[in-house]
A and B are shown apart, each in its own frame.
Chain A
Amino acid sequence: EAQVTQNPRYLITVTGKKLTVTCSQNMNHEYMSWYRQDPGLGLRQIYYSMNVEVTDKGDVPEGYKVSRKEKRNFPLILESPSPNQTSLYFCASSFAGNTEAFFGQGTRLTVV
C-alpha cells in the first residue's frame, strides 16, 4: 500500500530535550516536506527536500533541522524543543512540488 509513515503519532517531551520525528515513504517520490499545523494559522511548511542531500527552508524553519540521506526517509529534528513548537506535524511526499502531495497521519507534539 502506498503510504507516508510518521512516528511517533503522539509525543510529550520537556523543553530542551532533543527529539526526532521520523518520516518514510514507499512511493519513490523525489520531493518530501514537513509542515506544522496550528489553529488559525493553517498548514505552514518547515523544510522541504527535492532529492537526496538537497534540502531547503520553508516558511518557518527556525528551531528545526532535517536530513535526506536516503530517498525514502526525511526525519525532522528538534535539537532543543521549546513550548512554541507544540503543534501538529505532517510529513508529505510527491513526485514534484506541483503534483499531488501524500500526507502522513500526523505527529502531535507537546513540549512542556
Chain B
Amino acid sequence: QKEVEQDPGPLSVPEGAIVSLNCTYSNSAFQYFMWYRQYSRKGPELLMYTYSSGNKEDGRFTAQVDKSSKYISLFIRDSQPSDSATYLCAMGGASGGSYIPTFGRGTSLIVHP
C-alpha cells in the first residue's frame, strides 16, 4: 500500500459545480499537508498549506484535514474552466521528523463550460 493514495481521475464537472478532491494516507506521523495545482506542461504550484488538523479557506478553495481518519480534502466552490488542472496532495512530518514530502499521484480535473 502506498503511503499516500489519490484517485487519478479524470474528474469531469460542469462549470459552477462544487468539486471535492481527496487523499488518504497511512503514516500517522504526517503533520503538514499541502495541495499543489499543476497546469499542463507546467510545474506544480502550491495552492494550500495546512498544519495538523482542521480547515483552511482561501477564496473558493477550502482544505480540510481529518487526522483521525487519515483523510484530507480540497473543496473548490463555483468551479471555473480555469480550474482545469491536475491537483496533487503532498504531506510529511513536522520539524524533527521526515522533511521529505510524499506526493499523491494527482487527480486530473476537467471543468467544462
Which residues from chain A sit less than 8 Å from chain B, CB to CB? 4, 31, 35, 40-45, 48, 50, 58, 90, 92, 96-98, 100-101, 103-106
Contact of A101 among B6, B46, B93, B95 (CB under 8 A): B46
Contact of B101 among A98, A104, A106 (CB under 8 A): A98
Majority secondary structure, B binding face? loop
CB 8 Å contact bits of B22-54 with A (1 = contact, 0 = none): 000000000110100000011111100100000
| Shortest Cβ gap from B14 to chain A (Å) | 26
Interface residues of B (CB under 8 A from A): 6, 8, 31-32, 34, 41-46, 49, 88, 90, 92-95, 98-101, 103-106
14 contacts between A and B (CB under 8 A): A31-B99, A40-B105, A41-B105, A42-B104, A43-B88, A58-B100, A96-B99, A97-B92, A98-B92, A98-B95, A100-B46, A101-B46, A103-B44, A103-B45
Kindly list chain B residues whose C-beta atoms are within 8 Å of the C-beta of A58.
100
Cα–Cα, bound, A24→B45 (Å): 17
The answer, among B43, B92, B93, B98, for a CB contact under 8 Å with A104, is B43
- Interface contact B105-A50, CB-CB below 8 Å: no
